[in-house]
Structures are given as structure tokens and as C-alpha cells.
Structure 1
Amino acid sequence: MAEEIRVNGKAGKFEQYTQEKNMNFFNKNELHDEAGTVVFQSNIKVEGQTIPVGIITDNTIYTIIRVQVGSGLVKEGNKAKFLEYINNLNRSYKVFKYVAAEDGSLFLDACLPSTNESFDADIVRVVLDVIVDHLTQEYKNIMKEAWE
């Protein structure tokens, strides 16, 4: 017997919020998976760079804001020093954490717990604004650390 897929109510609320606030810079991508995943994709501009960002909603209690800070930033030559720098950043911020992927990419993730009923799109927007402000301040320092 196939498991019934529950409707992702957070995606509907976020989509309605973006329409009401004229936030027409998100593209909606429905993954049609068992978790009902819907990703709202966009970009942010930091230091002249276009950086991908996604708001990942699904039927779990988590909504993830994920920013791909850069590809190939963690290399054998800088790994120990760079990851120490990233861990220092992680200790400084509560609402988000940096994650280094196996391929050397660096992501910034914020995990916002909520049910479909308690989901608050305003909180997503506030955290996204905090992330943009943070990256505006720190992006060039992160790149400097990565390329030293």
C-alpha cells in the first residue's frame, strides 16, 4: 500500500506571503518526493557576486534556508585553517551555521522548526535578512580566508 503524501502547508503559506509582499524573486520548484518538498530558489548579491539561496519546505518540522556561499573553497592546502575560521564563525551566530560539503563547497544553513500550522513566513524573511546582512559584512573575509 502506497504511503499517502501529506500536503506541504508551509509551501502554500510561504508562496502566499511572497505574493502579498511582492517578493517576485523566488522560483518555486516542487520535487514531488515523499516529503512533499518544495524549494523556493533565488539569488542574493554580495560583493558583486550572485549567490544562490533556497528556502526548503517539506512535511518535516524543519524549514531550511540554504545559501551556497561558494564552490571549491575548502581545499587540502587550506582545510585546517579555513575550517577553524568557519568554526569560529559558527560559535558567533545562533540562527545559522556554516557547513563544508565533501566537494569543498561552503553552505550557510538556517534551520527553522515549525509545523504546517505554526509556520511563520515573516520569521523566514527576518532570518533571510539577517543572513544577507551577515554575508554583506563577512563575505570578503570568508573569501580571503579561503584563497590564502
Structure 2
Amino acid sequence: MEIDKEKEEIMNTKTIKMREFLEVNKIECFELQKMEDEQQTAIFRSRMQVKGQTLPLAILIDTSVYTLLQVQIAPEVIKEDKFLQLASFLNEMNNKYRLFKFVVSPDGDLLLNACLTAKDSNFDPALINAILGETLKFLESEYPRIMSKVWDEK
């Protein structure tokens, strides 16, 4: 695929590297959404199949040193009372698995985040891909336990 130089100018360096990595490795499961903001944010959207469920996945890349991988575990299910019930479990998981952090969005979405840091010069899309593989392995192992806690009515 030929790269449009005009479009490249409005994308940050890390986004260009990620897009090129996906193209070279023929990884075609991502859609690129470019935001019109000062940080030149780009969101690579896809889905992950885990235990028969399709989980939305996003990789957020901008001009900061942070790249965020985010998987939506459960949409709009963690209301205030459920959050209070789950807080101890989520904190335990956050302490046990240092790469991954569970957060609850203001809309009640249960999200799994992995944050990586890299300047433009040492941004490595292959590392992002490896972390995605680790994320899938982690979810294949822990998803049933996580969801049993989410749906527990205690």
C-alpha cells in the first residue's frame, strides 16, 4: 500500500510507524481513526475474541510519550454499587498483574489498560504487537474469573 505523504504530515511519527508495521506484516484487522486535536491522536480500533466474546480493542497513539492499549471487558455494567463491590478485586488484580490496569469509565465500562512509554525515536510497533499477544493470553486465562465477579450479585 502506498503511503500518502500529505496524510502523513498530519499524523504523528509513532502513528506512521504503527501503520507501516501493520502494512508490512499484513495485519489488516485495525481501522485507523485520526482525531483532529493538538496531540495528533490516532486510534487503531479492532476486536479481540475471548472465550466466545468479541471485545473492542483500541490502541491510542499521540505525540506524548504514552501509548495506551485498551480492551473493553464489559460495557456499561459497573454502576456505583457494583464498583464498590468490585473495588477490592480490581485493586488486587492491578497489584498482581503489573502490565495491566483495570479501570472503570464514567459510563460504567470495565476496561483493561496497558500503558507503554516511548519517544518517537524508540517507539516499537513490534512491542505493541507482543503486548497485544500477552493481553490475549491474560484474558483467555482470567476472563471467566473477571466476569464471574462482574455478574456476582453479592
TM over 0.5: yes
Using structure 2 for the length normalisation, give the TM-score.
0.88
Are residues 1:136 and 2:136 paired? Answer: no
- SS of match in other structure, 1:72: coil
Q: Counterparts of 1:42 and 1:134 in 2: how far apart (Å)?
A: 17
Shift of 1:101: 1.6
Are residues 1:65 and 2:69 paired? Answer: yes
Matched positions, count: 144
What residue is the counterpart of 1:103 in the other structure? Answer: 107
Shift of 1:79: 2.6
Matches of residues 1-148 of structure 1 in structure 2 within 5 Å? 7-148=11-152
What residue is the counterpart of 2:4 in the other structure? Answer: none
1:91-129 CA distance string (max 9 Å, x none): 111112011122221111111111111100111011111
Do the aligned partners of residues 48 and 105 (structure 1) sit closer, same or farther apart at CA in structure 2, a change above 3 Å counting?
Answer: same
Using structure 1 for the length normalisation, give the TM-score.
0.91
- SS of match in other structure, 2:116: strand
- SS of match in other structure, 2:46: strand
- SS of match in other structure, 1:12: helix
Structure 2 portions without partners, runs of 5+: 1-8
Q: Counterparts of 2:51 and 2:74 in 1: how far apart (Å)?
A: 13
Q: Counterparts of 1:27 and 1:108 in 2: how far apart (Å)?
A: 20
**What RMSD over aligned residues (CA atoms) do the two structures have, in Å?**
1.5
Structure 2 counterpart of 1:113, one-letter code: T
Q: Counterparts of 2:33 and 2:10 in 1: how far apart (Å)?
A: 17
Shift of 1:6: 7.4
Q: Which of structures 1 and 2 has the larger relative contact order (alpha carbons within 8 angstroms, sep 6+)?
A: 1
